[in-house]
Amino acid sequence: MAHKPDLVKLMLKAGREPGYRPMFDRALAGATLWTPVADDGIGMETARGCLQVWDCDSVVGIPLFASLRRLKRSAGPGCPAVALEGREMLAMSIEHDVPFLLEPDEKMMVMITPPVAREMLAPEPALAPRPRLVREGEPLVMRAMPVPDGVPDRLRRSLAIAWSAHANVRRAWLALVQAWPPEANPVEPALGIDGSGDVYQALKDGALVVSAFYPRWPAMQLFDVTEAGDGDFSALFRAHGTPVYEARHIRH
């Protein structure tokens, strides 16, 4: 049986270090969680019963706990409760348009909002070997990232932590891309990975980490820039500059 990570410890680590956020998201989706039931009928009616709604420092939502023991410690030993699977909780957040509050007694409580739930439940589309922002034959403009003094070392470390779960990642670059003509198209941040096999999950994890450092950036464009193939975007990223990540032992 695969070892399940301690969800609370992972939540606290992810709160301090964005590199652990992808691991936490996956652990949360597969976890068994507990939420108190409103036996007086005052709460949110669901197919699993009437769930309590808590106000935690002016943040209102349905409380969640990683174990029944932690729930009883917070809500009282006589409080009725129901177990929810992580994916079931995410679907419920979307269906009822309500946030869930994971471990509301912790200083780093996590709020799972309906938009976050939708993103976590979204199916993962196959990533084309050469995804294109522009029509065939049109050029792509690439520029330096708008980051003072380059990419911060802390972001590099966070990406290395996130990609420690992906042995197929060799190198990665951050850049700005813009379809031609530049005056008619928006500038968008882009993440490119040179790796082996399917690199979509690694790209998705990397984008999640980058967004923690730059939450106001628009959604990132994701590129598989492995050397094999026609090398169009691969050559662009390699010419752009130093990788933001490079495996210690490059795997070819």
Q: CATH number for the domain including 209?
A: 3.30.300
Q: Are residues 149 and 227 in the same domain?
A: yes
Answer yes or no: is 159 within a domain.
Answer: yes
How many angstroms separate the CA atoms of 104 and 112, rounded?
12
Question: What tens digit of pLDDT does each residue of 77-90 get?
Answer: 889 999 999 999 99
Which segment of 77-81, 87-91, 148-152, 199-203 scores lowest on mean pLDDT?
A: 148-152
Average pLDDT score over the chain: 83
Predicted TM-score (pTM) of this structure: 0.81
Tally of domains in the chain: 2
Q: Please give the pLDDT value at position 70.
A: 94
Q: Please give the pLDDT value at position 82.
A: 95
Answer yes or no: is 128 within a domain.
Answer: no
Q: Are residues 110 and 164 in the same domain?
A: no
Answer yes or no: is 203 within a domain.
Answer: yes
Q: Are residues 101 and 179 in the same domain?
A: no
What range does the domain containing 204 cover? 140-246
Q: In Å, what is the CA distance from 67 to each residue of 72, 84, 104?
A: 9, 11, 13
Question: How many residues comprise the chain?
Answer: 252
Q: Please give the pLDDT value at position 4.
A: 67
Q: Which of 86, 121, 156 is the last residue of a domain?
A: 121
Report the SS3 class of residue 221: strand
Taking the chain, what is the end-to-end CA distance rounded to the nearest angstrom? 32
Answer yes or no: is 234 within a domain.
Answer: yes
Answer yes or no: is 56 within a domain.
Answer: yes
Which segment of 30-39, 108-117, 201-210, 227-236 scores lowest on mean pLDDT?
A: 227-236
Instruction: Show Cβ contacts of residue 249 under 8 Å, excluding neighbours closer than 6 positions.
Output: none
> What is the four-CA torsion angle of 179, 183, 184, 188, rounded to 10 degrees?
50
Residue, of 183 and 6, whose pLDDT is higher? 6
Answer yes or no: is 51 within a domain.
Answer: yes
Among residues 187, 244, 243, 193, which one has the least CA distance to residue 218?
187
Q: Are residues 216 and 111 in the same domain?
A: no
Q: Are residues 147 and 113 in the same domain?
A: no
Answer yes or no: is 195 within a domain.
Answer: yes
Q: Are residues 109 and 182 in the same domain?
A: no
Residue 110 maps to which CATH number?
A: 3.40.1350
Answer yes or no: is 132 within a domain.
Answer: no
